[in-house]
């Protein structure tokens, strides 16, 4: 008998995309009767919950179990993830944002890897960036260098930055529970603090080379890099760096603290006064600020040594 797997869909103002996400859950090659589908909506102001509820009424009979959780107010992505993670009964959890799409073999591919590597607790794979209804696609390879290392080296590397493709994560429920799930102090940052906690406990991040998720990047791939960032996300990241990353850094990386501070001030100052457009004026400002970032210069020099 196949085991029950939890697919956790986290949504916020996803009325235009959630049907695609849910359909990709239903069409998994892994039988839906062995899938527990949990959806959590983070106080959407659009019709996300109505659309999700209607879809569940039509399709819930296919699944082992379905639930729709609705936050009355927006709590942030970390709290929204915790709702579905804490209520999951499957041994493994696959989390997907309600604007992304699962490759039809996603669950089967992850379970095949787990069968061959039963000691694994956290598994990553590759993704496909897409826009315009899957018409425009670009392959996205995960951070293979980091994911090939032992956990102590992974921890050392993640202190310097995180480029892991979070949408590809496949995680044991008990492992999430053992580290206290997502850290809700960082409302808009559920992934980086979680990898930090896992690695600090010596839990290795594993990887296999297969596309398992379509990751939506906006209206077009060409527009993906036209914006500076989200102020709430930048604040969550900076607080996490100050409270968790900086205390772990050796004196060798002291300049990284200054670098993190400069990046935060650069982006939030521009967002506050000039908006979110990555204009020519912003790029000139950005490159000027880079002159005050010795850690960035250090990393650039290292590439040629």
Q: Tell me: the pLDDT tens digits for 42-79?
A: 999 999 999 999 999 999 999 999 999 999 999 999 99
Task: Please list the alpha-helical segments (H only) found in 201-253.
Answer: 231-240
Q: Where in the chain is the domain with CATH 3.90.550.10?
A: 5-220
Distance CA(267)–CA(83), nearest Å, equals: 31
Q: Tell me: the pLDDT tens digits for 170-229?
A: 999 999 999 999 999 999 999 999 999 999 999 999 999 999 999 998 654 444 567 888
Q: Which helix (H) or strand (E) holds 184?
A: none
Q: Is pLDDT above 90 for 95? A: yes
150: which residues sit within 8 A by CB, 6+ positions away? 204
Two tokens, residue 125: 């794979």
Q: What local confidence, expressed as pLDDT, does residue 305 receive?
A: 58
What percent of the chain is predicted at pLDDT more than 70? 94
Provide the CATH topology of domain 5-220. Spore Coat Polysaccharide Biosynthesis Protein SpsA; Chain A (3.90.550)
Q: Is pLDDT above 70 for 235? A: yes
Pairing mode, strands 92-97 and 136-140: unpaired
Q: What local confidence, expressed as pLDDT, does residue 253 receive?
A: 82
8 Å CB contact between 138 and 128: yes
More confident residue, 185 or 294: 185
Distance CA(262)–CA(238), nearest Å, equals: 11
């Amino acid at each position: 008998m196949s085991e029950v797997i939890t697919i956790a869909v986290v949504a916020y103002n996803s009325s235009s995309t959630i049907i695609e996400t849910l359909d990709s859950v239903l069409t998994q090659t892994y039988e839906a009767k062995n899938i527990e589908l949990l959806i959590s909506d983070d106080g959407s102001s659009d019709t996300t919950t109505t659309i999700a509820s209607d879809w569940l009424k039509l399709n819930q009979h296919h699944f082992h179990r379905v639930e729709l959780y609705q936050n009355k107010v927006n709590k942030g992505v970390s709290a929204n993830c915790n709702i579905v993670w804490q209520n999951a009964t499957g041994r493994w959890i696959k989390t997907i944002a309600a604007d992304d799409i699962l490759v039809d073999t996603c669950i089967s591919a992850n379970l095949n890897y787990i069968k061959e590597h039963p000691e694994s607790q956290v598994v990553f794979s590759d993704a496909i960036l897409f826009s315009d209804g899957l018409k425009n696609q670009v392959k996205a390879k995960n951070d293979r260098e980091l994911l090939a290392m032992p956990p102590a080296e992974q921890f050392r590397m993640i202190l310097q930055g995180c480029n892991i493709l979070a949408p590809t994560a496949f995680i044991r429920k008990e492992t999430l529970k053992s580290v206290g799930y997502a850290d809700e102090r960082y409302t808009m940052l559920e992934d980086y603090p979680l990898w930090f906690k896992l690695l600090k406990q010596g839990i290795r991040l594993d990887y296999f080379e297969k596309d398992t998720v379509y990751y939506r990047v906006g209206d077009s791939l060409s527009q993906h890099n036209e914006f500076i960032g989200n102020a709430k996300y930048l604040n969550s990241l900076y607080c996490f760096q100050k409270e968790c990353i900086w205390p772990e850094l050796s004196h060798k990386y002291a300049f990284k603290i200054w670098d993190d501070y400069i990046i935060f001030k650069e982006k939030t100052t521009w967002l506050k006064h000039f908006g979110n457009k990555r204009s020519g004026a912003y790029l000139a400002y950005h490159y000027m600020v880079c002159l005050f970032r010795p850690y960035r210069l250090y990393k650039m020099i290292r590439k040629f040594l």
